[in-house]
């Protein structure tokens, strides 16, 4: 019996690759980077499954190139805005993701960014390395207290709630905005208060973004929203870059509409808005929200198991488009 043919678009931790190899004929891309479009279209031909990354655009053209055998697209990520899910569903292709496993790791990174920008850690590191440190000074690199401040969380899903739990240890007041209000017991447990988006922006000292990228959240934070924030406030984004209008953010940071920002994601990755690179009041990280050894391995295992179960004719545990089962 023929083993299903699978293409993995970039090397992932071996824990996941071993699972796929056990059940499938596998080709793992050896290209060091995001596959060029023409290469991707060539490599997916006649495949039964694709295990891809969020940096791979899997649209109608790719699905067409793969051919009629394609049954599953397993995304090595929580978000799946890189995949045309509607087109996949129309073609009877299952789409999966890796939720839950990276919740705490991503929240850790968001918290680290918030602390870093508030206490000017990156600026301090550069200062010392440049040989400018002459000893303790009363006005050197004054920052902002996190303890006892107000944290505004945009998007109160797994990661947003994980941020709220961390805030309890810092005696922070927690505000949140989401399209769906959390159950009362969740609000009570996390001591979180629901606000409209404008109310949250006006009240929070730190605003942390944890919503998925959709047509409704594209540029959710633009000039109007940045002007609503306190002049002493900070913006943290570990969700998706296009949720924030980067040009507006550069202006806000340059002109002092807000005090600072910390970003792990960018609007046009891997490119970064040039103005951001010139500013000291922004901390920039290279999309490493889930980048711990343990979490990336768990993501690989989850993506692999999603793919293998789909190819066996089973329902994968993290199916994004369950409506495909009705076809």
Which residues have a Cβ under 8 Å from the Cβ of 205 and sit 6 or more positions away? Answer: 144, 149, 150, 151, 152, 230, 232, 233, 234
Q: Which residues pair with 51 in a beta bridge?
A: 8, 74
The DSSP secondary structure of 78-119, one letter per residue, reads S--TTB-HHHHHHTT-EEE---STTHHHHHHHHHHHHHHHHT
10 belongs to the catalytic site: no
CA-nearest of 308, 302, 314, 294 to 16 is: 302
269 belongs to the catalytic site: yes
- Rounded Cα gap, residues 271 and 20, in angstroms: 33
User: Which 8-state DSSP code applies to residue 26?
Assistant: E
**Catalytic entry in 287, 296, 305, 309:** 287
**Catalytic entry in 240, 259, 296, 309:** 240
Report the run of H or E that residue 236 belongs to, with start and end.
strand 234-237
Number of other CB atoms surrounding residue 125 within 10 Å = 11
Tell me the catalytic residues. Answer: 240, 269, 287
């Amino acid at each position: 019996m023929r083993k299903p043919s699978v293409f993995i678009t970039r090397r992932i931790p071996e824990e996941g690759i071993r699972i796929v190899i056990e059940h499938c004929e596998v080709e793992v891309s050896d290209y060091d980077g995001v596959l060029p479009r023409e290469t991707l279209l060539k490599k997916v031909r006649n495949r039964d499954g694709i295990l891809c990354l969020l940096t791979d655009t899997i649209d109608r053209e790719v699905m067409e190139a793969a051919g009629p055998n394609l049954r599953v697209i397993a995304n090595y990520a929580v978000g799946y805005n890189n995949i045309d899910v509607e087109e996949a569903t129309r073609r009877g292709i299952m789409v999966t993701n890796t939720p839950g496993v990276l919740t705490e790791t991503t929240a850790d990174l968001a918290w680290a960014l918030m602390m870093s920008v508030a206490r000017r850690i990156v600026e301090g590191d550069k200062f010392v390395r440049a040989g400018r440190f002459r000893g303790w000074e009363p006005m050197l690199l004054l920052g902002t207290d996190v303890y006892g401040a107000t944290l505004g969380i945009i998007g109160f899903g797994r990661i947003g709630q994980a941020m709220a739990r961390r805030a309890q240890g810092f005696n922070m007041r927690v505000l949140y905005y989401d399209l769906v209000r959390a159950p009362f017991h969740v609000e009570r447990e996390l001591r979180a208060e629901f606000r409209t988006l404008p109310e949250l922006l006006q009240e929070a000292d730190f605003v942390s973004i944890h919503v998925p990228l959709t047509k409704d959240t594209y540029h959710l934070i633009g000039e109007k929203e940045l002007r609503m924030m306190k002049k002493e406030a900070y913006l943290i984004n570990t969700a998706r870059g296009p949720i924030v209008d980067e040009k507006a953010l550069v202006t806000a940071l340059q002109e002092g509409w807000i005090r600072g920002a910390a970003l792990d994601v960018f609007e046009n990755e891997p490119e970064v808005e040039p103005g951001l690179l010139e500013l000291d009041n922004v901390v920039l990280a290279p999309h490493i929200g889930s980048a711990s050894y343990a979490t990336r391995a768990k993501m690989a295992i989850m993506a692999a198991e999603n793919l293998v179960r789909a190819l066996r004719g089973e329902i994968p545990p993290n199916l994004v488009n369950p409506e495909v089962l009705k076809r």
